[in-house]
Amino acid sequence: MTNNPGYQRGELTVHTDPAELARVTRALRATGRRVHLVPTMGALHRGHLELIKRAKDANVVVVVSIFVNPLQFGPNEDFDRYPRQFEADVEACREAGVDLVFAPTVDAMYGGGRELSVQAGPLGEELEGATRKGHFDGMLTVVLKLLNIVRPDLAFFGEKDYQQLVLIRKMARQFNLDSQIQGIPTVRESDGLALSSRNVYLDEEQRRAALVISASLTAGAHAAVGGPEAVLKAAREVLATESLVQLDYLELRDPELGPAPETGEARLLVAAKVGSTRLIDNAMVLLGE
């Protein structure tokens, strides 16, 4: 791993020091270039590459962060076995035309101790937060640090982690951050399975079973003309057809994850375990239409 203090257009450089990366991106902005950030935890797949593709533009420097953030993993979660493939990720970034990779160590990000952190508030204790205590506090803390280090004009996040996206947007508004938060639609396999770094944990039978998760969202969306109860009923019926899938929650909310409206745009969210692997997905539905 290198920590190249310079930057030449068209050449990928890898940085590990937050202060050095901040200096480089500040210098780039001073020349009139825009800076776009794609935060990741590595194990890059086509979903990440789509974020990078959306981030690229004329006169834009694309920064990809690769950092498995320990703060957003609970004591019984998969931090130790979370897939790590740094060299392959850097090569994928190079092929995708990324300009800067930021790959700090845990010590570089939190070496001085963590006496303060962002609090996600009531929404951080619902849905994913109900079973992953402290997850969103840790996620928001690292995202705030990344935004402050890189100071991007735009930061790109996938809609698959929809609650995360909503909370990051709330944080950006309430903390008056300069960076704009750009959500990108979920990237899926041809059979509908949402791309996730955790899909590698699924064996063949589990992967087949996991398809009912996206199928339940499709069924719910098709039933939207009947209103909220019809959406949830249709989705539950599909999920019930697969015994290998253990439902955690299935909920319909408004776009900001408040109570679902009777008509108009809403968001259908699902979380389930397939074997020991926890998967999430969501879809927009138009109630009454």
What are the catalytic residues?
48
Residue 284 annotated as binding site: no
Residue 48 annotated as binding site: yes
Two tokens, residue 36: 């776009």
Residue 190 annotated as binding site: no
Two tokens, residue 166: 């909503």
Residue 97 annotated as binding site: no
Two tokens, residue 51: 């974020």
Nearest to 43 by CA among 8, 2, 76, 90: 90
CA distance 34 to 36: 7
Handedness of CA 260, 263, 265, 269 (dihedral sign): positive
Residue 160 annotated as binding site: yes
Residue 161 annotated as binding site: yes
Phi, psi at 77, each rounded to 5° = -100, -170
Beta strands 60-66 and 34-40: pairing type? parallel
Residue 158 annotated as binding site: yes
CA distance 272 to 211: 11
Residue 100 annotated as binding site: no
Residue 15 annotated as binding site: no
Two tokens, residue 233: 């009923």
Residue 85 annotated as binding site: no
Nearest to 202 by CA among 278, 281, 280, 282: 278
Known binding-site positions: 41-48, 72, 158-161, 164, 187, 195-198
Known binding-site positions for ATP: 41-48, 158-161, 187, 195-198
Known binding-site positions for (R)-pantoate: 72, 164
Known binding-site positions for beta-alanine: 72
